[in-house]
């Protein structure tokens, strides 16, 4: 916990516009420029650097799911640089485990609920299947359970 406090102090010194709030999960909230963190979590310092990287890289929103994965990868790459600067042990297995959760999330969203083929994203929360042409909506689901809903096509 002492090292976490020290790290937060150093990060606040370089970026006083960012707030750090203890919470249950690690999360960057761009709307109020706040990083939520859990000092009891395994690899807490590394996870804090990852969320801090989102803030430094000015990550706000994304339109396509693949953009989210790109932002996550970029934040981890930046966290690797910060880990060296702040003497935080960088663990690539932890990074890959976290990236895997996003990869699995993206794969689950893209599975057609009709035929289970991989679909493609057509708009922010809508997918279409190239095999059976079924369309479905998905919820945000980064923190909650994934839901897929059939898109109602207008009758002609």
- Please list the helix, strand and coil fractions of the chain in percent, rounded to the nearest 5, in that order: 40, 15, 40
Domains of the chain as residue ranges with CATH: 2-88 (1.10.10.2910), 111-150 (no CATH)
pLDDT at position 151, please? Answer: 61
Q: What is the pTM of this model?
A: 0.85
Residue-level pLDDT at 156 = 46
**Residues 117/129, Cβ–Cβ less than 8 Å:** yes
pLDDT at 142: 56
For 11, the 3-state DSSP assignment is helix
Quickly list H helices, 15-149. 44-56, 65-85, 92-110
Per-residue pLDDT of the chain (156 residues; tens, 9 = 90+): 568 999 999 999 999 999 999 999 999 999 999 999 999 999 999 999 999 999 999 999 888 999 999 999 999 999 999 999 999 999 999 999 999 999 998 999 999 999 999 999 999 899 999 999 999 999 875 554 444 445 655 444
Q: What is the pLDDT of residue 132?
A: 97
């Amino acid at each position: 916990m002492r090292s976490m406090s020290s790290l937060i102090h150093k990060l606040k010194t370089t970026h006083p516009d960012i707030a750090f709030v203890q919470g249950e999960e690690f999360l960057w909230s761009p709307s109020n420029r706040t990083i939520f963190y859990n000092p009891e979590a395994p690899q807490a310092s590394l996870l804090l650097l990852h969320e801090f990287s989102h803030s430094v890289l000015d990550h706000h929103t994304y339109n396509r799911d693949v953009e989210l994965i790109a932002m996550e990868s970029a934040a981890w790459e930046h966290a690797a640089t910060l880990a060296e600067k702040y003497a935080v042990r960088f663990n690539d297995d932890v990074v890959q485990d976290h990236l895997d959760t996003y990869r699995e999330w993206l794969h689950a969203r893209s599975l057609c609920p009709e035929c289970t083929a991989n679909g493609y994203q057509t708009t922010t929360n809508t997918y279409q299947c190239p095999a059976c042409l079924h369309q479905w909506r998905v919820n945000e689901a980064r923190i909650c359970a994934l839901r897929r809903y059939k898109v109602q096509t207008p009758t002609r």
